[in-house]
Amino acid sequence: MKEDGFTLIEMLMVLGIISTLVLLAFPLQFNVLKEQEEKQFLKTLASDVLYIQQRSTLTSGMNRIIFNENSYRIIVDGRPSMNRAYPKGLTIDTRTDRNITFNYNGNIKNPRTLYLVSSLNSYRMVFPFGKGRFYLERQ
C-alpha cells in the first residue's frame, strides 16, 4: 500500500519558514504606514499655513498658528478654530517664538525656521521674508 502525503516534520519546517517570513515582513509594513502618516501630516500642515495666510488677507482679525509641544492650534479671527495633534514620534522645536502670523497682505510677520524631527526623518520648515509660502527641506 502506497501512501502519499507529507510527514509531520516536513509540515513543521514549512510552517516555520512561512512564519519567519511573516515576522520579517511585518516591521517593513509598519514603517511604510508611519511614513505615509507623516506625509499626510505635512500636507495638512501646509494646507493650514496657506489657509491662515489667505485668511489674513481677507480679515483684519488675528489669524495665526501656534505650535505647542504635542499639537498645533489654528486661531481664526482671534478665536481658536482647530487643534491638530502631531503624529506619534514627531516633535517640532518650539524653543523660539511659537506663533506663525501673517499681516493683512499675506506677508509673514515673523520669518523663521522651525525644525521637525520624527523617528524616520528630520525636516526644516522655512518661513522666508515676503509673500512666498513656507517650504520644507528634508535633512
* 68-117 pLDDT tens trace: 888 999 998 888 889 999 998 888 887 778 888 888 888 888 888 889 99
The Cα–Cα gap between 114 and 49 comes to 13
Q: Which of 63, 47, 65 is nearest to 55 (CA)?
A: 63
Sign of the Cα torsion 51, 53, 57, 60 reads positive
Domain-located, residue 64: yes
Give the CATH number for residue 103: 3.55.40.10
The whole-model pTM stands at 0.76
User: Is 11 among the domain residues?
Assistant: no
Beta-ladder partners of 49: none
| Number of domain units in the chain | 1
**Enclosing domain of residue 58:** 37-138
